[in-house]
Amino acid sequence: MYFAALLARTEDGWKASDTELDDVESLSDLTDLAREASVDEDTVLVFIEQEDAWFGVIRVDGEEDPRIYVSNASAAARSSYGEILLTDELLGREPGAEVTIAALEELVGLDGTEDGEPDTPDNHDNHDDNAGTDDDDGPDADVVPAGPLGDTGVLSDLGLPEAELLMLRTDAMAEIADALGAAEVLETVR
């Protein structure tokens, strides 16, 4: 079960609204949604939480690039909403890496032979002691790290230090809202 909400900072404090993510297909869509909720280009926070699995905070300040924190990247990667947050940049990949990997996989068959190369016993008898391991290839580009990922200081100037953000596990949105002084307004949309 998911919960998603926007918190927009105003002169009078925080204003909360729940939000539907059905039409959100990318981080750009999510950022646009946050900017539409902004009052005078002030800070808007988007919270996404999957019960007991992971949560994400996206911070949008005016026209600046969004800042993202995800509590458990590997759990978020298994979620359609989490995948929106796990950009190539956040994962430390080159932009478009997935497209390049897919193109390379098409060139080389799963048996290790290139297209058009005959499948002979010599192709399989390399006697490589590391056969079956990816040691020579480096880390797998498709692996998403377990645990927190992103900007751990995303809420530091708003009252939630990095160390406290990293310790949050369950009911994180309530604890974050409490630290921001927005617990009551967030509760109205929960």
Do strands 13-18 and 43-50 pair parallel, antiparallel, or not at all (unpaired)? unpaired
What are residue 46's phi and psi, to 5 degrees?
-110, 125
DSSP 79: S
Please count the other Cβ atoms lying within 10 Å of the Cβ belonging to residue 11.
7
Render pLDDT for 133-175 as a digit per residue (tens, 0 to 9).
444 444 444 678 889 999 999 999 999 999 999 999 778 988 9
Longest CA–CA separation in the chain, Å:
74
Using left for φ > 0, alpha for ψ between -120 and 50, and beta otherwise, residue 79 falls in beta
Q: Say yes or no to pLDDT of 124 above 70.
A: no
Render pLDDT for 9-26 as a digit per residue (tens, 0 to 9).
998 899 998 888 888 999
- Cβ atoms of residues 152 and 162 within 8 Å: yes
pTM here is 0.75
